[in-house]
Structure 1
Amino acid sequence: MTQQNNPLHGLTLQAILTELVEHYGWEELSYMVNINCFKSDPTIKSSLKFLRKTEWARVRVENIYLKLQRHKEKAEKLN
């Protein structure tokens, strides 16, 4: 797969996580991805550290981000 076809190309994990936290909040994210760093005194820094080490959790977070972006695109088309 080329990078131009990768919708996450050019985005940092920090930017993705920050947007998800702003949109959903930590509590909702902890329901979507059941990991302690989203539940117990969550911070961007601690969550990034965990997500960079844990591929399955990072992939889940990236998929949530992609789903949010598709939802936003559909909403824009309706307006």
Structure 2
Amino acid sequence: MKKPPSQDPLHGLTLETILNELVAGYGWPELGRLINIRCFQADPSVSSSLRFLRKTPWAREKVEGLYLFMLRERRRSGQS
């Protein structure tokens, strides 16, 4: 029997993809304001942020939560 497709909206997404979409959607300054971590505020880059997020579960949870919020807001406003 085949498994039903995952209902998890994060299924199959890499942390890098999530971070790049957040940066594209909010920009580094707003991202640093919404999630108060230094790697988003002081000389931010995707690579340094990924290193930090991979080692820090609480920060990764905040990033994933903000990404899910962004998806809900896009759906609500009719954007894809």
Structure 1 length normalisation: TM-score? 0.90
Residue 3 of structure 1: how far off its partner (Å): 7.2
Give the Cα separation in 2 of the matches to 1:3 and 1:46.
33
**Which structure's residues are more often helix, by fraction?**
1
Equivalent residue for 2:55, pick from 53, 56, 61: 53
* Residue identity matched to 2:35: V
Q: Which residue in 2 is equivalent to 1:15?
A: 17
Structure 1 unmatched ranges of 5 or more: none
Equivalent residue for 1:73, pick from 39, 64, 75: 75
Give the Cα separation in 2 of the matches to 1:31 and 1:59.
16
Structure 2 length normalisation: TM-score? 0.89
Indicate the structure (1 or 2) with the bigger Cα radius of gyration. Answer: 2
* Residue identity matched to 2:58: W
Percent identity of paired positions between Structure 1 and Structure 2: 51
Structure 2 unmatched ranges of 5 or more: none
